[in-house]
Chain A
Amino acid sequence: MSWTLPVFSKSATVLAVVFGMFFQISIALSAPQLSPMEITYDDKVLYCSVGPVAVSDQVTLALNQGTAVAFSWEIIIEEVNDYWVNNEIGEIVIVRQAIPDLISRSLIITDTKSAISRTVHTIDDATEFISRLDHFPILDRSLLTSGVTYSVRVKLHVHEGELGDSWWAEAVRFGKTVALEDVTLP
């Protein structure tokens, strides 16, 4: 006589599908509100200005209690397709971090992309720096075609603690879409 494992029936499968639908709906309902974004350009470069993104009390509290906070901006430029997925033109990641020093009551703010670092003494200065992208160059204009509509999507992931302290923390970083704008070059 052999052991036989019970097999989940169709009803369990149906329940799992319903559960998946609930999961997707919950994610859609929890999507954040979009922040204002401005796309500007000159002869050579496309610039992006976002924010300031509303900084939660949790971020302020973390900085106040000495925990480093990093804003990871992901800017994606796509060519809009009506009947197919968008064609990605470029993607740029900017990481801005504020590291508080409780002993000296100061904060070191850094831009990991440009390696700029300076010390500020108020949390507002630090959050202003990490929560805003002001006239930030994102793409060479030569990569874009005049008359074509492009979508610029900005995703933001807020990270508490030291960067790179766990590999899986980066792996599960999804990010929220905080700004979305279409642009058509003349």
Chain B
Amino acid sequence: MTGFMRMLPLLMAITLWFVIFALWPDQPPSEPSFIAWINITLLVILSGSLLNYGVRLLRERKERRAGSRLRAKLVIALVSMLLIPTSIIQVTANQMVEKGMDVWFDVRVDTLLDQALNLAQGFYARVDSDLKHGLVTVMNDDELLGYVATLPASYSMLNTRMNNLMQHEGWDSIQVFDLNERLIAHVQSEGLSGLESEALEEEAKPTLTLGLVSTKLITRDNEEIAVGYAPLRAHQNIVGTLRAQIVLPQSVVKNARAVETDYRTYRELERNRQSIRSTFTHAMLIATLVVILAAGIVAVGFARRLTSPIGDLARALERVTEGDLTVSIPTAPEDELGSLVDSFNRMTLRLKQNVEALEQTQKELTGALDSSRQRQYVLETLLANLQTGVLLIDATGNIRLLNQSMRELLNLSAKWVPGRSISSLCSGRLQLVCQFYDELCHQEDGHLQRELELMVDHNNLHILARGVKLSGAGSAGFSGYLMVLDDVSSLAEAQRHRAWSEVAQRLAHEIKNPLTPIKLAAERLQRRFRKQVDNTVVFDSCTHAIITQVERLQRLIGDFSDLARLPKPKPAIVHARELITDMAELYGAYSRIHVQQFADDTLCYADADQIRQILINLMDNALAATEESLAPVHLSGNIDQEVVEFHIQDSGLGISETTAEHIFDAYFSTKESGSGLGLAIAKRIADEHDGDLILISKANPTHFCLRLPVEEPNMEQS
């Protein structure tokens, strides 16, 4: 709807107000202006309604109510359809009235009426003039006056004379009254109608008193009579009154009065010409306004009836657009709009059913997807956290999946990514893996297990490789090969260690038993036969060597025994400060040992004896390294992120790069008399406490750190 159409009611209201001011009556309520006030009232109501409707249209433009535009268009169209022809009819009618008035009040009619009236007036004036002239003649008739003076003797003569005069003048009657207004003589053309004499009229009194000749027109019994009065004088004295009358011809009177009536009516109409025009205009305007108002009311009602279902449909569609599919339009007329409403209701019902089905399907799919994602997550998490290396290869030999453990286990290069062919990647140290894959591909029973020895980062790994052939069925199936590689080096080492420990224990037991008698025998020889030998130096040297080597063998066997039978730790709550204090007391004789206690009294969960063994081993090593330089040795405690740390630092000779790589290996020692088991045992104890023993710095200073957990560790079985 255009802005002009929307502003049209307001423009029409403004126009109507101009019309109201133009038609505002000048006069207070009278007959014509009363109609004008009715028109003013109707115009005010109409303009008010238009104003109200225009304001509502402007308001609805902002609110955009459903169906309002169509309703406004219909109302404006219907009212305009009626307004235009009625306005044309109004203008045409006014023009016709104007023309009709000009015809009615034509100047020829005006002249004709004036002439007719003048003609009638002339006839009456002529009668009056003749009557007066005759009266003057008769009142001066000496014969008549003589008879009047000689009454009553001259009655018959008087009557005869009066009769002659009446016939001569053409009158209808002559009467003579005396000074007392009594009728003394009377003649008339027709016979007597009664015996009673008529009284002299009031108009005749001036004649008696002043002697004037006067006339009068009397209307009586559908006839008009011209009456004249004249004085009768005798010797200059009034002795009576002469009354003469003429009955005017009825046809003439009738025509004259008709002319008078027509003239009067015509002049009244002429005087009220403007009023008639105004009345007609206002009457037409009343009819027009009533028709427009009625048409407006009917148009609004019709538009509302027509657009109401459309508005309901528009509102319902808005709700459907917003997602509300429960909407339903309850009532509908039995026409095309009703059919449309029924179709809409069916459509929303179907939509609702479809959406519910879609939601159900979506819910099931979402559940399945969630389940799939959960399984995928579990699988990915499992593969990511699995210590076992997993490699999935499809039927074409391309890698489909490999986990992080596989990369770490085989130290794979960045080229090993899903999508690459395994045959193109296998070379060098990984040749055994490809051989295993080839063997698996040609395996008929579908699974294969082999132990592989691979060199990874200068470490010889013992790998347990297992493979299985995957033969999926259907579209969801997968065909390929799954290879699982486990690092069983630790297991093999443990097995070897276990075997060695058993051998060591047996050897120690078998060797340890004869060493004590050997040592005792050597000491006995030294005590009993030293004085008997001639060369004591050689004797002492030999016996001392025997004793020293036996003692060395005993220590060596003791260490072997300890390593083989290291007891399980018995953890308990230990004050870390006490361990530092014990070390300070134990090594109090060494002035170059500097001890720095923990800042706080910290508790840790450990086997105190085994921890002391580690600390003693580390302190002994530090003192030995600084035995010549007498450099200071520092022992300090620290707490770092829920871990208790013991730091041992010395500024001795330091540790070489090669030594540092194998310093925690068993049987590795740089000392001539060392068994190479001290740090290995210390490392093992730390590991069994779920802690760690690390070499932080190889030289300047040489820095070892023992870390123990504050909380209770999960002790492994030794």
CB pair A3 B263 closer than 8 Å = no
Q: Closest CB of chain A to B397's CB: distance in Å?
A: 78
Closest B residue, CB atoms, query A29: B28
Given contacts A1-B308, A30-B27, A62-B271, contact A105 B121 (CB under 8 A): yes
Interface stretch (choices B34-42, B236-244, B313-321): B34-42
CB pair A12 B267 closer than 8 Å = no
CB pair B45 A8 closer than 8 Å = yes
CB pair A161 B268 closer than 8 Å = yes
Q: Closest CB of chain B to A165's CB: distance in Å?
A: 12
Q: Specify which of A3, A19, A101 is in contact with B41 (CB 8 Å cutoff).
A: A19
Given contacts A65-B271, A161-B268, contact A12 B45 (CB under 8 A): yes
Chain B 250-281: CB-based contact to A (< 8 A → 1; otherwise 0): 00000011001001100110010000000000
Query: Of residues 206 to 220 in B, which have CB atoms within 8 Å of A's CB atoms?
Result: 216-217
Tell me which residues across on chain A come within 8 A of B331, comparing CB atoms. Answer: 1
Q: Closest CB of chain A to B57's CB: distance in Å?
A: 13
Q: Does A23 contact B (CB under 8 A)?
A: yes
Closest B residue, CB atoms, query A16: B44
Q: Main secondary structure on chain B at its contact with chain A?
A: helix
Tell me which residues across on chain B come within 8 A of A102, comparing CB atoms. Answer: 117, 120-121, 260, 263-264
CB pair B49 A8 closer than 8 Å = yes
Q: Does B367 contact A (CB under 8 A)?
A: no
Q: How many A-B residue pairs have CB under 8 A?
A: 104
Which of A23, A26, A102, A160 has the most chain B CB atoms closer than 10 A to its own CB? Answer: A102
CB pair A65 B263 closer than 8 Å = yes
Give the total of B residues in contact with A, Cβ under 8 Å.
Answer: 47
Interface stretch (choices B296-304, B488-496, B549-557, B710-718): B296-304
CB pair A15 B48 closer than 8 Å = yes
Tell me which residues across on chain B come within 8 A of A19, comparing CB atoms. Answer: 40-41, 44
Give the total of A residues in contact with B, Cβ under 8 Å.
Answer: 35
CB pair B45 A16 closer than 8 Å = yes
Q: Does B405 contact A (CB under 8 A)?
A: no
Given contacts A5-B301, A19-B44, A67-B267, contact A30 B52 (CB under 8 A): no
Chain B 29-65: CB-based contact to A (< 8 A → 1; otherwise 0): 1110010010011001101110110010000000000
Tell me which residues across on chain B come within 8 A of A174, comparing CB atoms. Answer: 28-29
CB pair A12 B49 closer than 8 Å = yes
Q: Does A103 contact B (CB under 8 A)?
A: yes
CB pair A11 B25 closer than 8 Å = no
Tell me which residues across on chain A come within 8 A of B24, comparing CB atoms. Answer: 22, 26
CB pair A101 B217 closer than 8 Å = yes
Tell me which residues across on chain B come within 8 A of A161, comparing CB atoms. Answer: 268
Q: Does B375 contact A (CB under 8 A)?
A: no
Q: Does B587 contact A (CB under 8 A)?
A: no
Given contacts A102-B117, A102-B260, contact A26 B34 (CB under 8 A): no
Known: A6-B296, A11-B55. 17 other contacts (CB 8 A): A3-B301, A6-B49, A8-B45, A19-B41, A26-B25, A58-B271, A62-B268, A66-B260, A67-B267, A67-B271, A102-B260, A102-B263, A103-B217, A103-B257, A119-B203, A160-B268, A172-B30
B residues at A contact (CB < 8 Å): 24-31, 34, 37, 40-41, 44-45, 47-49, 51-52, 55, 117, 120-121, 124-125, 128, 203, 216-217, 256-257, 260, 263-264, 267-268, 271, 296-297, 300-301, 304-305, 308-309, 331, 333
